[in-house]
A = this chain, B = another copy of it.
């Protein structure tokens, strides 16, 4: 998932219809912290996250890291290029994933409906990544963090007596590497949002959105 400006996630995350013809599908289970694949691995499978959260990362030679995306339920991950995985993937929480053969994306032979669903997922991915370009290239720290929280709370926030509660399974440095910031800046920005009563920090990994409209405003450049 590319957390940018809110989009219609009802559209964005249809549950892919399962192919009827393939061999029996076994859901993959992944423990928190374990890797699903590494950059350079040959791609045999794509996956749709069915529960839990995974993290896609890339490394630069000198250790700088970019978190490419977080994979939430409904997201399809593992699109190949040149037959190889383009990032590392590991689990932030225990996760379950539905695997699909790479061949189902690359040819319609095995199941036309599934083929098309995977293709549409790839096209949505391209569009979402374009949004993320704007985020990385043109937004300030506050705008980035506000966008991040805003989109996540729309997508996976839990209603909590008028407010929305948001669990963040990733650590601050993951958020930083996703948004192109440092952990310190992320932390300071959280504090700033807390002090202006836009969010409350229930625990390090649990945020409560007090004023969603204000948060949304900040995410697109309104001041204060």
Contact = CB atoms under 8 A, between A and B. Distances in A.
A123 B64 contact: no
Q: Determine the interface band of chain A, counting residues with CB < 8 A from chain B.
A: 35 or more
A165 interface: no
A200 to B, nearest CB: 28
B133 A106 contact: no
A150 to B, nearest CB: 15
A25 to B, nearest CB: 22
A153 interface: no
A101 to B, nearest CB: 15
Contact of A179 (B86, B108, B137): B137
A87 B130 contact: yes
Contacts of A86: 126-127, 130
A186 to B, nearest CB: 13
A108 B109 CA distance: 9
Interface string A111-152: 010011001001111110110111011100000000000000
A61 to B, nearest CB: 6
Given A108-B108, A130-B87, A133-B132, A66 B123 contact: no
A66 B135 CA distance: 9
Given A86-B126, A125-B126, A126-B81, A60 B138 contact: yes
A163 B177 CA distance: 37
Nearest to A126: B79
Contacts of A66: 130, 133-134, 137-138
A83 to B, nearest CB: 10
Nearest to A124: B81
Contacts of A122: 119, 122-123, 126
B64 A138 contact: yes
Given A60-B221, A108-B108, A180-B136, A81 B127 contact: yes
A-B pairs, 6 with minimum CB distance = A137-B180, A81-B127, A136-B136, A66-B134, A108-B108, A129-B129
Interface of A: 11, 58, 60-62, 64-66, 68, 79-82, 86-87, 105-108, 112, 115-116, 119, 122-127, 129-130, 132-134, 136-138, 177, 179-180, 220-221
